[in-house]
Amino acid sequence: MAAEIVNPRSDSTTGAGAGSAPDDAFDPAFALHRGGKMAIQATVPVRNKDDLSLAYTPGVAKVCSAIAEQPELVDDYTWKSNVVAVVTDGTAVLGLGDIGPEASLPVMEGKAILFKQFGGVDAVPIALGTTDTDEIIETVVRMAPSFGGINLEDISAPRCFEIERRLQERLDIPVFHDDQHGTAVVTLAALRNAAKLTDRALGQLRAVISGAGAAGVAIAKILIEAGIGDVAVCDRKGIVSADRSDLTDVKREVAGFTNKGGLTGSLEDALDGADVFIGVSGGTVAEAAVAKMAKESMIFAMANPTPEIHPDIAHRYAAVVATGRSDYPNQINNVLAFPGIFAGAMQVRASQITEGMKLAAAEALAAVVADELSADRVIPSPFDERVAPAVTAAVAAAARAEGVARR
């Protein structure tokens, strides 16, 4: 794991008096964020004129000329092969919603820190001053030569689906929307272990997902890829089914590969006899509906800060309970996935992150605690130092197996 990160600009005078933030002495969150949480750090010394002539002119010209003749050398002689752009438009930030690019920056800085701390990957936060899909795509395409990967973050659905798809079609570096795929990978890993703990296979389970946004759609896709028995996705109007006339293009696609049982009606209807509840929507599920789930059910209520089903209620009926919160066992935390996924993809200079690589990440993550399972331990802690190496190795191997690795 990386060394402790220290903010060199955290002195109390930096930016003093700006804005209307509470006094740092009384609010540790503002104290920590003052001056920002990141800084650029050189990896080579510049102590004298000889160092300067190598790091900059004239020595740098040799490297530039070599890259001009052989563009693939950029991965060897610049930071490109180990740096990710964390790109947002600020429209779907954590539980805050559309707060804009400036207000999203503390989250993007935090994401960059997590990349470094948990995966050894450098990352640069980039908040864009546009919500136009075409403008976002064109902007990212034009800055892509500086980066080895693009992590899309906190971009609202359904635009996030199109942005990711079109960027990956145009770029030969990994493009990954963490709100979708990071959540899906960790959810699948935890569900694999929960099924094992209750002596069932994924193929025997019927799941209900509350939420048809970025995370809900991605979870549904990865569960189907992993071989779950059936899954029904629900939005505010009920079960996403082919007989509905109000579906978006994305939801119509979801209806085509989910709900083999042909269920219709509400979320409560879908939960009747269901083995698994996965919440990525917020709101509250009535206890009466939870009580109708199958015996030894699994409840992953991941809305923050208030889970869709409170753990105290969930434990009355479920064999395994998970949330998105750090103060309860079995936290479904994206940091378990995205640092290792990018580290593995960039280690082999993969051109994309495939479904097979995501499945490999989930399997590796589940295996970390496969011999230590309990109802309160179906997923590792983010601070388990086995996680990133396991996910990195599995993703790199899967990239080679699928032919998307370039080394």
Is there a binding annotation on residue 385?
A: no
Among left, alpha and beta (phi > 0; psi -120 to 50; other), residue 259 is: left
Is there a binding annotation on residue 154?
A: yes
Q: Residue 176: helix, strand or coil by DSSP?
A: strand
Let me know: does 143 contact 85? Beta carbons within 8 Å: yes
Active-site residue, from 56, 237, 260, 295: 56
Is there a binding annotation on residue 179?
A: yes
56 is catalytic: yes
Is there a binding annotation on residue 304?
A: yes
> What residues does 239 pair with on adjacent strands?
234
Q: Count H helices, E strands: the chain?
A: 16, 10
77 is catalytic: no
Active-site residue, from 111, 221, 251, 358: 111
Among left, alpha and beta (phi > 0; psi -120 to 50; other), residue 370 is: alpha
Lookup: tokens for 224: 């189907």
Eight-class DSSP state of 350: -
Q: Of 160, 296, 184, nearest to 233 (Cα)?
A: 184
Q: Of 302, 296, 322, 309, nearest to 378 (Cα)?
A: 322
Among left, alpha and beta (phi > 0; psi -120 to 50; other), residue 198 is: alpha
Rounded Cα–Cα distance for residues 200 and 197 (Å): 8
> What residues does 85 pair with on adjacent strands?
124, 150
**DSSP-derived secondary structure for 261-303:** T---S-HHHHHTT-SEEEE-S-S---HHHHHTSPTTEEEEE--
User: Which residue numbers are catalytic?
Assistant: 56, 111
Binding-site residues from annotation for a divalent metal cation: 153-154, 179
Binding-site residues from annotation for (S)-malate: 304, 333
Binding-site residues from annotation: 153-154, 179, 304, 333
